């Protein structure tokens, strides 16, 4: 496993005129559209370093500019090969933008690049500081379901609902805390890249990001679960 580098350098050559393209989407010599550079990730697609606190406005601007330049309509009269490249790159552009514009998906993506995070590895345990609240929550949920199944009285159901609503607020605020924590670690990551921190230091930060993401996904599931239960009542 290797930590990602700050910049991606590619030694590709234009398929049409053989000039060096340095991974650009268009050949600097003849202007022809180029296939995606080998090993290019979503950051490289936008010509960005693998930083996490990237400017939303810059990203959006780049997205609109590239959408226009790569748009299949502009290649309607080009060769079959160029038309296909325009379709491929447009689809890649949309995936890259969807991922990078979201601060959480961006961190998940960065970790997945170095194999630190895999889809479907989501079975989580309750964070220790929330154990008691999770326990109480599950009790209230059980009671509410029982009350509902037995056609329980309105007063009892209202009491349980109030309890669940307050639990929901509590977990929503925990979620906001975790998001702030994630933003903090993201800034540390960028600082580590800026100071060319060694691989061990970067790996340590990634492990923390992974831990924060696990906690986040656990709490988000709780919030969604309570929301669903309340909607069903
Ligand atoms: Zn060329």
Q: How far is the CA of 3 from the centre of ligand 1 (A)?
A: 32
**Structure letter (DSSP) for residue 23:** T
Report the predicted TM-score, pTM, of the whole model to 2 decimal places: 0.84
Q: How far is the CA of 46 from the centre of ligand 1 (A)?
A: 20
What is the pLDDT tens value at each position of the chain, 233 positions in all? 444 444 445 568 999 999 999 889 999 999 999 998 877 899 999 989 999 998 889 899 999 999 999 999 999 999 999 999 999 999 999 999 999 999 999 999 999 998 887 655 556 677 888 888 888 888 888 888 888 888 777 888 888 889 899 989 999 999 999 999 999 999 999 999 999 999 999 999 999 999 999 999 999 999 998 998 888 86
Q: Any idea of the CA torsion for 40, 107, 54, 194, to the nearest 10 degrees?
A: -80
Q: How far is the CA of 88 from the centre of ligand 1 (A)?
A: 19
Q: How far is the CA of 91 from the centre of ligand 1 (A)?
A: 22
Tokens of 19: 């000039």
Q: Report whether 19 contacts 11 (CB < 8 A).
A: no
Tokens of 32: 């022809």
Q: How far is the CA of 76 from the centre of ligand 1 (A)?
A: 19
Tokens of 121: 């590895």
For residue 48, report the phi and psi dihedrals to the nearest 5 degrees: -110, 150
Q: How far is the CA of 99 from the centre of ligand 1 (A)?
A: 30
Q: How far is the CA of 34 from the centre of ligand 1 (A)?
A: 8
For residue 81, report the phi and psi dihedrals to the nearest 5 degrees: -60, -45
For residue 20, report the phi and psi dihedrals to the nearest 5 degrees: -70, 135
């Amino acid at each position: 496993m290797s930590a990602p580098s700050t910049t991606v350098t590619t030694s590709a050559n234009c398929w049409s005129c053989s000039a060096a393209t340095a991974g650009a989407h268009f050949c600097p010599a003849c202007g022809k559209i180029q296939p995606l550079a080998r090993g290019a990730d979503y950051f490289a697609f936008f010509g960005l370093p693998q930083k996490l606190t990237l400017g939303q406005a810059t990203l959006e601007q780049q997205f609109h500019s590239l959408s226009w330049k790569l748009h299949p309509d502009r290649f309607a009269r080009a060769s079959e090969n160029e038309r296909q490249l325009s379709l491929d790159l447009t689809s890649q552009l949309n995936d890259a933008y969807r991922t990078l514009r979201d601060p959480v998906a961006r961190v998940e993506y960065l970790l997945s690049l170095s194999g630190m995070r895999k889809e479907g590895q989501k079975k989580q345990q309750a964070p220790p500081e929330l154990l008691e609240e999770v326990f109480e929550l599950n009790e209230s949920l059980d009671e509410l379901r029982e009350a509902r199944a037995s056609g329980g009285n309105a007063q009892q159901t209202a009491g349980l609902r109030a309890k669940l609503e307050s639990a929901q607020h509590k977990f929503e605020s925990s979620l906001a805390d975790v998001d702030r924590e994630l933003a903090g670690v993201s800034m540390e990551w960028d600082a580590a890249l800026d100071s060319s921190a060694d691989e061990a230091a970067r790996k340590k930060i990634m492990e923390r990001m992974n831990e924060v993401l696990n906690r986040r996904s656990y709490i988000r599931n709780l919030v969604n679960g309570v929301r669903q239960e309340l909607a069903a009542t």
